[in-house]
A and B are shown apart, each in its own frame.
Chain A
Amino acid sequence: DQQVKQNSPSLSVQEGRISILNCDYTNSMFDYFLWYKKYPAEGPTFLISISSIKDKNEDGRFTVFLNKSAKHLSLHIVPSQPGDSAVYFCAASATVTSGTYKYIFGTGTRLKVLA
């Protein structure tokens, strides 16, 4: 049962335009959400996160939006650059025991930014 889903396996965007990557989750116990960027044969790189009590967090070109009622989050990249081409994973975190957290990853979206 996939608790975190990224329904678009791939996305192509023109350089300079906005990239919107979406993520849906099912477990209401998740209270912290993260986005990672991954290049082939490398580990995921942390990009941006959001706590469940917020609905928006911004860091430079990256903004994450959270709609708790819809159990949906999205990552906006503006403006998109060719170097943003990678696989993007969203991850959701829940507290397992006091001080121990579990992270569930979505299936990933491959973003291609066209020059």
Chain B
Amino acid sequence: DTEVTQTPKHLVMGMTNKKSLKCEQHMGHRAMYWYKQKAKKPPELMFVYSYEKLSINESVPSRFSPECPNSSLLNLHLHALQPEDSALYLCASSRKVGLAGGNKETQYFGPGTRLLVL
């Protein structure tokens, strides 16, 4: 099973609103990720959590605030967003795969939340 779930599927918010995106996986994966994807562009890494600790922040503006309450759940809190933040927000988790040459990690993505900021 490689299912990552994300809610909501779609979100419309104003620039003064506060909202949260939620991501869940019950596969025991130890790392979870947030990506942002604009149309016709590749996913861009925002944050990485490893064992519930923030290990990578790709210089993301503070209006995006990640939270990892437990090993299965990852949130992204949104506040005072700009219209240019409208995008598909993807969550992923990863598991180790034993390969010749050492352990590697394979990422599995959720379906994404389509965010529109007005």
Contact = CB atoms under 8 A, between A and B. Distances in A.
Interface of A: 4, 31-32, 34, 36, 41-46, 49, 51-54, 89, 91, 93, 96-97, 99-108
B75 interface: no
Interface stretch (B14-22, B39-47, B78-86): B39-47
Contacts, number: 82
B34 interface: no
A97 B99 CA distance: 19
Nearest to B105: A101
**How many B residues are at the interface, by size bracket?**
35 or more
Interface in B49-99: 50-51, 55-56, 88, 90, 92, 94, 97, 99
A41 to B, nearest CB: 7
Interface of B: 2, 4, 6, 30-31, 33, 40-45, 48, 50-51, 55-56, 88, 90, 92, 94, 97, 99-102, 104-112, 114
Contact of B104 (A32, A89, A102): A32
Interface SS majority for chain A: strand
26 contacts: A31-B104, A32-B104, A34-B106, A43-B111, A46-B106, A46-B109, A49-B106, A51-B99, A51-B100, A51-B102, A52-B101, A53-B100, A54-B100, A54-B101, A89-B42, A91-B107, A96-B56, A97-B55, A100-B56, A101-B104, A101-B105, A102-B45, A102-B48, A103-B33, A103-B107, A105-B43
B104 A46 contact: no
